[in-house]
Structure 1
Amino acid sequence: MSARWWSHPGNRVVALSTVLAAAIVAAQGLHLLWGGPPDVAGQVAAAVVLATIFFVTEGFVIHLRVRRGGHAMSVSELPVVLGIFAVDPVVLLVARVVGGGLGLAVLRRQRGGKLGFNVALIGLQATVTALVFAALVGRPTDVGPREWLATYVAVFVSDALAAALITVVIALHDDPGELRRLTQAFHGLPLVAVTATIALIGAVAIRHDARALALLGVAGAVTYIGYRAYVRQSQGHTQVEDLYAFTRELDGSRDSSEVARIVLTQIRDQLRAASAELIVPDTHNRGLLHTRLTGADDLTSVWIPADGPERWWTPAATGTPVLLSPLPDRQPHDGIAVPLPMGDGTGVLTVTDSLSDRPTFTSEHLKLFQALANHASVALTNAALVDRLRHEVTEKEHLAQHDPLTGLPNRTRFNELVQEAVDGDRPAAVVLMDLDRFKEVNDALGHDIGDALLCEIGNRLKSQLDGRGVVARLGGDEFAVLLPGAGTEDAAAAVTAELTAALERPLPVGSLRLTTRTSAGIALAPGHGTDARTLLQRADVAMYSAKDTRSGERVYHPSQDRNTPTRLALIGDLGQAIDHRDLQVVFQPKVDPATGHVTGAEALARWHHPEQGFIPPDQFIPLAEQSGLIRPLTLHVLDVALRRCASWRRTGHDLGVAVNLSPNSLLDTDLPDVVARLLRETGVPPHALTLEITESSIMADPTRSLRTLDRLHTLGVKLAIDDFGTGYSSLGRLRDLPIDEVKIDKSFVQRMAVDRRDRALVTSAVQLGHALDLEVVAEGVEDLDTYTHLTREGCNLIQGYYVSRPLPADAFATWLRDHEVIPASRAPERSRA
């Protein structure tokens, strides 16, 4: 018997029926060998009567529902009991098979494999009953207590065997789980006891008067009617309990697929259908999701077009239930479809092909189905909402750990992956890659092309690695690669050289083919570090070394690292100095050369280290920028400067104050809010504050920088370009920036008195600024000639040692009282900072 043949449910039922028929033949054969041939001729009349009764009893069947299976209980024990007293087992078998088989085919309309199995089953029941009875009492000569006991044992054994075999055939046909409910199959045995008792009483009565057979029929009919009423009432209660169990089963937070399986399983079983279907509209317009559960617990889902041909359940999708009348040659044979209201539309629930132990679905089944659908609607809607929330959470988690542009892991996720790789001192390499001159691509071709190039680079790196490592984008044009298992410098360098060479091949971006060059730094675990932070920091050091030397890729070496212990200690001291407000803020005056009046001052940070003494700004400002301390440093200077400006104005000096912003400050989206808060707290009008920025700070990220500048400009704060003239594109950007002032770099101002080229540049800068309606400030003015020339050129403000060195706040207040007007012929100020 092949596995393919056995896999068909009908074939399995045929096999079981064949086994039962063989068992009947074997049992009857043994009986004939043991007891000899029966007197068949003398029992023909009795056989005909019994066959007739067996035929009639098949029309009076009580169906006991067990999950989606059904056990048919009849009063056929009455003629069986009469038969074991009246005829030989072989004759009883023939009467039972002929009469019962005709009753199954004519009255209960069974066909095919089901009819074959049931005929074999009733034949086996008759055989077992007769042979068990014969084994206990032999040929009966009386109907006494000994025969009563034998009768009870015989009918109980045969009916228990029949219940078990029905459970087995349901399991073989379409429901393997039916075997777990074997005990429920014996719920009909009480009826067996009743009918056996009535039959025994009838047998005793018939021995005295054959007309008692009519009374026996009345007793059987009353028993049948009463037990059927009891079963219906019991099954009504069971139906309510099933409905409650259905709602309880749907409680809890589950995904949609699990809820769909529960819904389809429950409605298929409770409505006793061959299959159940769920049709749900899709929110993304992919059509209808059609999920089908068959009797074998096979769950399948397929997408079907929403605008396909009309189907038998289509009216239910618009809110109209459908009760499909049975037709023999139609698929499905019969069915019910009910609408299923859901949050995003209306779905459909269907059951098809009612089980063959009843004619078809009825209006009562439709009502039950609608009640089930109402509960299913709530559960499926909630499950869909939970699915959507889970999907959103998953998406947010993915976005939190992945770069939104390339889809690669971001810095946070890459750190986790590196840490996982190096835990336990396992070898690994971290490669940090930075694109050379990527900014030119953005400037020349636009950010769309730049973004497309970054995506193509990420794809090429992944393709080139081919599963040997993980690629991540850390930000901007910086990529990172983790190479697990790369324990030597040569191995890591070989893979890195392969990656950089791959990126040097032309990359297709739209209609363009672009070439790139990269600088890569390599750090290895555990030699260069045993944690992700250290490895990334040292790979970064190696990468910048490769960029400086234009060597393509470099492996980390301590000699490359600027983060010496002394430097790190200085960063720590700087952080403490900012926290404790130990940094000093000094002020250098600004003068209007046309009038000699002091109009304001520039606030500058000074640091006197408790051990190393004075540390110049060009040393500690870069430290603050590289270590992330520039923000608290800038806020400290802003706070002190505005409070001092407020005190000057309270004493009658209508002065403004200027504060330098670092390049990173313009990327701080909170900066405008902080400035607005400090202005409110100090009472300084916005126009009295000038924020000085360099061109390079704008070029780092023009979009975000301009957004911050616009918000500051809206506050009324003045904006100035510092070190004007040193940037390569300042002139082209002046017209687009919301600035009020340009500040000519001191490198041009200091030699203008002796160098005609510097003088020409300063003169041009002043004229350009005025042409654009901007104030022009010259810094680095250290002598009278320079002061005089700038006055003659119409420079708006002068700043430098000729006016005053930067002064501590209290010293500046004192100086201000003595120098409200600066004469052009005054000797240079020699006050000390």
Structure 2
Amino acid sequence: MQDSEKLADAQAWRYPNGPRMVLLSASVLLLLLLCGAFVYFTGGTKYVYAHIFYFPIIFAAFFFRVPGGLLTGLAAATILGPWMPLDVNANEMQRTVNWLTRGAMFILIGSGSGYASVLLNSLVDRAQRLQIIDSLTGLGTREFFLRELNRYLSDESGENLAILCVEASGYDWIRTSLGAEHADRLTRYMADRLALTCPDSIVSARVFGARFALALPVADQQAIEPWVSRIKELFQRPVDVRGIPLYADVVVGAAYHPNHGHRARDLLQKASTALLHARDLTGRFCAYRPALDNDYQETMFLLAELSLAFERKELSLHYQPIVELSSGRLMTVEALFRWKHPRRGWIPPVQVLPAAEETGLIEPLTDWALRTSLAQLKEWRAKIPELRVSVNISARNLANPRFAVTVKECLAEQGLPPDSLQLEITETNMMPQLDTALPMLRELHRDGVRLAIDDFGTGYSSLAYLSIIPVRTLKIDRSFIKGILKDGYFRELARATVELTNRLDLISVAEGIEDAETLQLLIDMGCQRGQGFYLSPPLPPEELLAWHERRASDGGSAVS
């Protein structure tokens, strides 16, 4: 059933038709006759307050609007007209001016009540529509989706349904960088596409932002993926945003009724959980499984433990060398987060850092990393005077206008020059915060802090951004480097990126160097610096100087 049909059902009690109209019309007529009989049998208009007729007049005006109020007022005026006695027992008739004045009042009250009913119902309709119909897309709201899905499940308890959550991954970036108008255009585009793809959906809704929910009848759980493929295929066509063709990269999470629950709220929650996991998958699709709930609970546990890990001194930094490829000279060390839990041992950073970013714990974590790495760098510089440390910063740091002050304070505490610190920023983190981040990054650049774009080529890469963001270094993502020996496409991408970096007088750093052949090919391409397990894994602080001394004694070889 379409959303407009559901709205019509909700309004039916206020907009009678068919049998309901006949019943209400008969009720109005009966009320008029009863009121007239009451006036007559109690002695006439002299003894009974004739305003009892306002009840059927207003009743009719509410359901039948102005025409109903007008006609009922006219009927009431007729019933209490010239043939209704003033005094039945004395056979005294009304004066003409009395019944004409009363009749005019009835007609005026009827038409006025009808007009008031029109206004009232339009307000009620608007409020009801806003509650259950999304004004931007015309689809249902989240509340409407849950209500209608629960109603359907109670009527068709044996039906197999796929509950899909579909989201445009670029929505936040478009809204922040290009404005709400263009984000709304993407949202309407998605709603139109989903309506074309899934016309047989039981119910559809815009949950929030550019996230949508659909309930689709399916034969079994294996039939969900063809629906997902259809949705993805339809989004291959771009949407025009400021004259730029933008491809909506959709992410889909799915839950299945009856296997995953029998209540709409549970099914939608599980589809949303699957969608969150789908964001990190190559195929951008994930079907719900119970283990995902365990992952969520595990993440919440780790976040709670992380807040205590600062006090328990369980956190540390390991440092991965970044070397000059032509000479093997150590140039920079990248500070990498490590956490050794007292019961669980080493916790993989990927297990906790994304959630820390979402909850805001990443800010105190970054502050700790800056202070710890700069204190360590001060100690190392006694033996390696030109060494720099590189620290990754998050989207939340970029959105914090006081972050530049924090960086300067950390440098001042150790008495280190600003160019001893490099801040690594991913394109994906930087673009949504560009308005806030750009003035801050320029301030840090003017002070001498070095800036690097991490994972270059995997986010919103644009030559135009390189002209306005004061970066000194581009770090080529490991996904490009990993395939350069076997895949000509990746090899040419890496070569073009290196050439671009050199032409722009920037420093190129290749990430993820894992063998001698890759190292030599990068040197031949003209790549200036690199890091990876072939050169050295991340090392605890006490091992880095030993690695450096061993490398120096080997004549400058960069290999660990």
Aligned-residue offset at 1:18: 7.2
Residue pairs, 1:206-285, within 5 angstroms: none
Q: Within the alignment, does 1:431 sit opposite 2:167 as a pair?
A: no
Q: Within the alignment, does 1:12 sit opposite 2:41 as a pair?
A: no
The amino acid that maps onto 1:456 is D
Aligned-residue offset at 1:603: 1.1
Question: Which of the numbers 366, 371, 378 marks the counterpart of 1:638?
Answer: 366
Aligned-residue offset at 1:421: 5.8
Does structure 2 retain, via aligned residues, the 8 Å contact 1:637–1:659?
Answer: no
Q: Within the alignment, does 1:682 sit opposite 2:410 as a pair?
A: yes
- State the distance in 2 between where 1:526 and 1:759 align: 48
Q: For the structure 1 residues 757 and 506, does the alpha-carbon distance in structure 2 shift closer, same or farther, using more than 3 Å as the test?
A: closer
List per-residue Cα deviations over 1:775-804 (Å, max 9, x = no partner).
Answer: 222445689998899789875545456775
Question: Which of the numbers 553, 575, 582 marks the counterpart of 2:303?
Answer: 575
- Number of aligned residue pairs: 448
Question: Which of the numbers 96, 107, 114 marks the counterpart of 1:113?
Answer: 96
- DSSP-derived class of the 2:80 partner: helix
Aligned-residue offset at 1:824: 7.8
Residue pairs, 1:700-739, within 5 angstroms: 704=432, 706-707=434-435, 710-716=438-444, 718-724=450-456, 727=458, 735=466, 738=469, 739=471
- DSSP-derived class of the 1:575 partner: helix
Aligned-residue offset at 1:658: 2.0
List per-residue Cα deviations over 1:40-94 (Å, max 9, x = no partner).
Answer: xxxxxxxxxxxxxxxxxxxxxxxxxxxxxxxxxxxxxxxxxxxxxxxxxxxxxxx
- State the distance in 2 between where 1:458 and 1:13 align: 62
Question: Which of the numbers 167, 190, 193 marks the counterpart of 1:457?
Answer: 193
- DSSP-derived class of the 1:657 partner: strand
- State the distance in 2 between where 1:694 and 1:433 align: 27
The amino acid that maps onto 1:587 is Y
Aligned-residue offset at 1:638: 1.9
Does structure 1 retain, via aligned residues, the 8 Å contact 2:86–2:92?
Answer: no
Aligned-residue offset at 1:645: 4.0
- DSSP-derived class of the 1:14 partner: coil
> 2:508 maps to which residue?
776
> 2:205 maps to which residue?
471
If the length of structure 2 is used for normalisation, what is the TM-score? 0.55
- State the distance in 1 between where 2:285 and 2:521 align: 52
Question: Which of the numbers 449, 452, 472 marks the counterpart of 1:740?
Answer: 472
List per-residue Cα deviations over 1:748-795 (Å, max 9, x = no partner).
Answer: 779999999999986664443121121222445689998899789875
Q: For the structure 1 residues 548 and 822, does the alpha-carbon distance in structure 2 shift closer, same or farther, using more than 3 Å as the test?
A: closer
Does structure 2 retain, via aligned residues, the 8 Å contact 1:691–1:718?
Answer: yes
Q: For the structure 1 residues 703 and 402, does the alpha-carbon distance in structure 2 shift closer, same or farther, using more than 3 Å as the test?
A: farther
> 1:338 maps to which residue?
none
Q: For the structure 1 residues 607 and 773, does the alpha-carbon distance in structure 2 shift closer, same or farther, using more than 3 Å as the test?
A: same
> 1:825 maps to which residue?
555
The amino acid that maps onto 1:584 is S
The amino acid that maps onto 2:441 is H
- DSSP-derived class of the 1:743 partner: strand
- State the distance in 2 between where 1:753 and 1:608 align: 36
Residue pairs, 1:341-352, within 5 angstroms: none
Aligned-residue offset at 1:744: 3.7
Does structure 2 retain, via aligned residues, the 8 Å contact 1:471–1:479?
Answer: yes
- State the distance in 1 between where 2:194 and 2:516 align: 59
- DSSP-derived class of the 2:442 partner: helix
Q: For the structure 1 residues 461 and 593, does the alpha-carbon distance in structure 2 shift closer, same or farther, using more than 3 Å as the test?
A: closer
> 2:28 maps to which residue?
none
The amino acid that maps onto 2:350 is I
Aligned-residue offset at 1:604: 0.8
Residue pairs, 1:63-102, within 5 angstroms: none
- State the distance in 2 between where 1:12 and 1:533 align: 58
Q: Within the alignment, does 1:563 sit opposite 2:288 as a pair?
A: no
Q: For the structure 1 residues 423 and 614, does the alpha-carbon distance in structure 2 shift closer, same or farther, using more than 3 Å as the test?
A: same
Does structure 2 retain, via aligned residues, the 8 Å contact 1:422–1:531?
Answer: no
Q: Within the alignment, does 1:584 sit opposite 2:319 as a pair?
A: no
- State the distance in 1 between where 2:459 and 2:366 align: 29
Residue pairs, 1:619-630, within 5 angstroms: 620-621=349-350, 624-625=353-354, 627=355
Question: Which of the numbers 597, 601, 608 marks the counterpart of 2:340?
Answer: 608
Q: For the structure 1 residues 736 and 112, does the alpha-carbon distance in structure 2 shift closer, same or farther, using more than 3 Å as the test?
A: farther
- DSSP-derived class of the 1:639 partner: helix
List per-residue Cα deviations over 1:487-522 (Å, max 9, x = no partner).
Answer: x9669979x969969x96999999xxxx99999765
Does structure 2 retain, via aligned residues, the 8 Å contact 1:598–1:820?
Answer: no
Aligned-residue offset at 1:593: 6.7
Unaligned runs of 5+ in 2: 1-31, 37-70, 175-181, 241-246
Residue pairs, 1:125-164, within 5 angstroms: none
Aligned-residue offset at 1:692: 3.0
Query: Higher Cα Rg: structure 1 or 2?
Result: 1
Q: Within the alignment, does 1:406 sit opposite 2:140 as a pair?
A: no
- State the distance in 2 between where 1:737 and 1:802 align: 34
Q: For the structure 1 residues 613 and 481, does the alpha-carbon distance in structure 2 shift closer, same or farther, using more than 3 Å as the test?
A: same
- State the distance in 2 between where 1:505 and 1:769 align: 33
Does structure 1 retain, via aligned residues, the 8 Å contact 2:509–2:528?
Answer: yes
What is the Cα-based RMSD across aligned positions, in Å?
6.4
Q: Within the alignment, does 1:480 sit opposite 2:213 as a pair?
A: yes
Q: For the structure 1 residues 586 and 459, does the alpha-carbon distance in structure 2 shift closer, same or farther, using more than 3 Å as the test?
A: same
Aligned-residue offset at 1:585: 1.9
Does structure 1 retain, via aligned residues, the 8 Å contact 2:481–2:510?
Answer: yes
Aligned-residue offset at 1:621: 0.7
Q: For the structure 1 residues 797 and 609, does the alpha-carbon distance in structure 2 shift closer, same or farther, using more than 3 Å as the test?
A: same
Does structure 1 retain, via aligned residues, the 8 Å contact 2:235–2:249?
Answer: no
- State the distance in 1 between where 2:115 and 2:367 align: 65
> 1:535 maps to which residue?
267
- State the distance in 2 between where 1:727 and 1:807 align: 27
Q: For the structure 1 residues 424 and 497, does the alpha-carbon distance in structure 2 shift closer, same or farther, using more than 3 Å as the test?
A: closer
List per-residue Cα deviations over 1:113-168 (Å, max 9, x = no partner).
Answer: 13xx7xxxxxxxxxxxxxxxxxxxxxxxxxxxxxxxxxxxxxxxxxxxxxxxxxxx
- DSSP-derived class of the 2:292 partner: coil
Aligned-residue offset at 1:741: 1.1
Aligned-residue offset at 1:575: 2.1
Q: Within the alignment, does 1:657 sit opposite 2:386 as a pair?
A: no
List per-residue Cα deviations over 1:609-667 (Å, max 9, x = no partner).
Answer: 5455445x4xx516653x56666564355223310244256566565432335xxx54x
The answer to which structure, 1 or 2, has the higher relative contact order (CA under 8 A, 6+ apart) is 2
- State the distance in 2 between where 1:506 and 1:769 align: 31
- State the distance in 2 between where 1:508 and 1:775 align: 34
Q: For the structure 1 residues 523 and 19, does the alpha-carbon distance in structure 2 shift closer, same or farther, using more than 3 Å as the test?
A: same
> 1:23 maps to which residue?
91
The amino acid that maps onto 2:137 is T
Q: For the structure 1 residues 506 and 751, does the alpha-carbon distance in structure 2 shift closer, same or farther, using more than 3 Å as the test?
A: closer
Q: For the structure 1 residues 819 and 6, does the alpha-carbon distance in structure 2 shift closer, same or farther, using more than 3 Å as the test?
A: closer
> 2:243 maps to which residue?
none
Q: For the structure 1 residues 7 and 578, does the alpha-carbon distance in structure 2 shift closer, same or farther, using more than 3 Å as the test?
A: same
Q: For the structure 1 residues 299 and 14, does the alpha-carbon distance in structure 2 shift closer, same or farther, using more than 3 Å as the test?
A: same
- State the distance in 2 between where 1:769 and 1:301 align: 72
Does structure 2 retain, via aligned residues, the 8 Å contact 1:746–1:780?
Answer: yes
Does structure 2 retain, via aligned residues, the 8 Å contact 1:578–1:632?
Answer: no
